[in-house]
Structure 1
């Protein structure tokens, strides 16, 4: 899930996101947290949902690498995470959590990097609750991650796809005169 103070977009935006175990190939369907809260509220007040299972997922499938690219574009930073093999990363995460008092990555989080989100086509979804439109990550990423930008870029609006294509066409040269 993504949203205000989430552990998905903010984890990718922080400077501590430097290691990965699966070359960021994990695939999932990010969903907006307030939308899930709305769905849970509807389930709570609707007697017909008792004993039923719902799969609440976002409209687009992303790999962690694709999502990381979106985050880096919005915060105007380029970073390349270092890939560590699973057999090294899991024990290192375990002992790191034993050695320091603040929470870091866990061995379970490393294991989850190797599992893609699989959607059951027969499961009930947002549409069964009467929720037709769920927000896309790309629509809200700017608002959630603006605080991670450097001060030189903080006031810049998010670039549109057309502006990104146009910027690549030109070579910018500073004139000393």
Structure 2
């Protein structure tokens, strides 16, 4: 984006974000020549002139992306399906900042209406399990294709597509394969799309700590030996926020991960160091409760669990236990966005897992520096 302005001294005290240059610009010109005028000091009651559509805004990552955009006056369009699940997004910004559009992924007109007036479209929609209405292919490929085509038809200058780590059309995991094919479809329609591959994300509503933490014991194909580079959801949201207002990221692929490798078993040990839950199931305690089960048997049990209507461990999730996170070192990272202070899991894990503490120690405070140092022994930096 071309920016014609000088910093305004009166904006001292304004919230500084990754897109400070936008906040300090009176006039911003998008890639397709649209002129956006900013008003205010850059805070919650200001307007920076941009309109951004966030698909999947009620999801785990989408809610934080929406919050970071709306709190600085970005007019944010939120397509929604369930009225009850989007209400909390209204307060993410000032009056009139967060706007809702009813959306049905199979209704092309509703998709087109959602992107019609936007400067940037961010697609955070994704699914790692099948439902009775949508398969993983429906969500990760077909919906991504419709959103991308509508974005192109509306002449929206920027598209940011959130994929996944390990996205690979040839993967043994259906989720990774559909995410890889989804990337190819998006690029074939909109070559200038920015592709984002987040590592496994942790946070308040995540599928990482909430999957590994509450269980007293786990039966897996590999004793939770899967290796990942977990990253904080707020860091990923910061990265997407930066891409939204930086046209130099168009057409590039970003792998967003924290440079410390942990296995699922080590994350379980980190959690156990805080919860101190010594409950037993038969002769097995929480700490020593991760056991090996044949892959096909684990998948069969997971398939039986799909009979119930609420989300349960699925067969593809079992398959993903055997696939370590692979880093594409040719892709851009947090550092290319100017983000060098990403969160260390051990520094914040207490706030996310303290609710699982044993009742006898529920009033115990956060770990001491010595205890934190012990927790960090499980972490190891990666080398390209």
Relative to the length of structure 1, the TM-score reads: 0.85
Question: Displacement, 1:104?
Answer: 0.9
2:246 is the counterpart of 1:46: yes
More strand, by proportion? 2
| CA–CA distance in structure 2, aligned partners of residues 4 and 64 of structure 1 | 18
Report if aligned partners of 2:212, 2:264 keep a CA contact under 8 Å in 1.
no
Q: Is the 8 A contact 2:202 2:233 kept in 1?
A: yes
Higher percent of residues as helix: 1
| Correspondence for 2:327 among 114, 119, 140 | 119
State the structure with more CA Rg: 2
Partner of 1:25: 225
Instruction: Give the 3-state SS of the residue equivalent to 1:145 in structure 2.
Output: helix
| Contact 2:225–2:265, Cα closer than 8 Å, also in 1 | yes
Give the Å deviation of 1:100: 2.0
1:107 corresponds in structure 2 to 315
Matched, 1:135 2:322: no
Count of residues in correspondence between the two structures:
164
Measured against aligned partners, the alpha-carbon deviations of 1:49-90 in whole angstroms (never above 9, x if no partner) come to: 011000000131001111110011111124112321101111
Aligned to 2:366: 158
Tell me, in whole angstroms, the C-alpha distance in 2 between the residues paired with 1:87 and 1:100: 20
**Any idea what the Cα deviations from partners look like across 1:15-70, whole Å, max 9, x if unmatched?**
37532221111000000001101101111111110110000001310011111100
Tell me how far apart the structure 1 counterparts of residues 365 and 331 of structure 2 sit (CA, whole Å).
Answer: 39
Q: TM-score, normalised by structure 2?
A: 0.41
Partner of 2:290: 81
Please list every run of 5 or more consecutive structure 1 residues that lacks an aligned counterpart in the other structure: 166-177
The alpha-carbon distance between structure 1 residues 128 and 159, as it changes in their structure 2 partners (threshold 3 A), is same
Q: Is the 8 A contact 1:11 1:17 kept in 2?
A: no
**Shift, 1:156, TM fit:** 1.2
Q: Specify which of 95, 99, 103 is matched with residue 304 of structure 2.
A: 95
Whole-angstrom CA distance in 2 between matches of 1:57 and 1:17: 27
| Structure 2: 5+ residue stretches without partners | 1-200, 279-285, 374-384
Answer yes or no: is the 8 Å Cα contact 1:21–1:84 preserved in 2: yes
After the TM superposition, list the runs of 4 or more consecutive aligned residues in structure 1 that deviate by more than 4 angstroms: none
**Partner of 2:212 in structure 1?**
12
